[in-house]
A and B are shown apart, each in its own frame.
Chain A
């Protein structure tokens, strides 16, 4: 009697285990679909290199003087740091802004097309003083520029 009970119990747990696996597999799907539209891996990446590879794969990035970053040298409030990126490079495909010392460096990535110029402005949060790197994809190549912004009061968390 006890043995048969034990059998049923084991069978039950096994079946339950299979169900859990199936459920988690099902749950995983929407996130994968989401990742295709919104580069989750790049936004979750904790380092600059991981962010860049998450966005563009293993492409090499070269500094380019044709990119201008207009941002304050010292920001009093890290919660709102205005930044404007402009470039004279032709065929700009996308612009990404990365803050090196933020928990997740990627601030935003913008794809530009159909007559949009190499120009982008936004306001971002910065945890502390950090280098800000801008990556411009133009004509299939990656170009970068960086600038240090000093932050007096951090803008992440409380």
Chain B
């Protein structure tokens, strides 16, 4: 399954906002498939970390209550033009993904 990660970085009130959008189903394990009448197994991102120049700035532990295609935003101070932002995530089925972007 293709699960692309998108990164958007924009200045906001003198700080830098980092927005992460992952195309991920985020199944809760509670939903019932309309055709097969069987529960759709849980499939969700557990950990998502955002790094600025190789240093962690945010490590998010996500649960099943995060919406489908999670959009996560954080704000950092002191990011300069040309700084590297890296995002990586892993889900409960062992899938991994990530993206890189410069400020």
Q: Which residues of B contact A123 (CB under 8 A)?
A: 66-67, 70-71
Tally A-B pairs: CB < 8 A. Answer: 114
CB distance from B51 to the nearest CB of A (A): 9
Q: Is the CB of B61 within 8 A of A38?
A: yes
A contact residues, total (Cβ < 8 Å): 36
Q: Is the CB of B66 within 8 A of A157?
A: no
Q: Is the CB of B74 within 8 A of A120?
A: yes
Q: CA A119 – CA B46 in complex, angstroms?
A: 20
Interface pick from A13-21, A108-116, A134-142, A143-151: A108-116
* Nearest neighbor of B33 in chain A, beta-carbon distance: A158
Q: Is the CB of A115 within 8 A of B63?
A: no
Q: Is the CB of B30 within 8 A of A103?
A: yes
- A38 CB contact (under 8 Å) in B31, B46, B70: B46
Q: Is the CB of B65 within 8 A of A125?
A: yes
Please tell me if B68 contacts chain A, counting CB pairs below 8 Å: yes
Interface pick from B1-9, B52-60, B95-103: B52-60
Report the interface size class on chain B. Answer: 20 to 34
CB distance from A52 to the nearest CB of B (A): 14
B residues with CB within 8 A of A = 15, 17, 28, 30-32, 34, 46-47, 52, 55-68, 70-79
Q: CA A104 – CA B16 in complex, angstroms?
A: 32
With a 10 A CB-CB cut-off, give which of B60, B61, B78 has the most chain A CB atoms: B61
Q: Is the CB of A124 within 8 A of B65?
A: yes
* Nearest neighbor of A102 in chain B, beta-carbon distance: B65
Q: Which residues of A contact B79 (CB under 8 A)?
A: 115
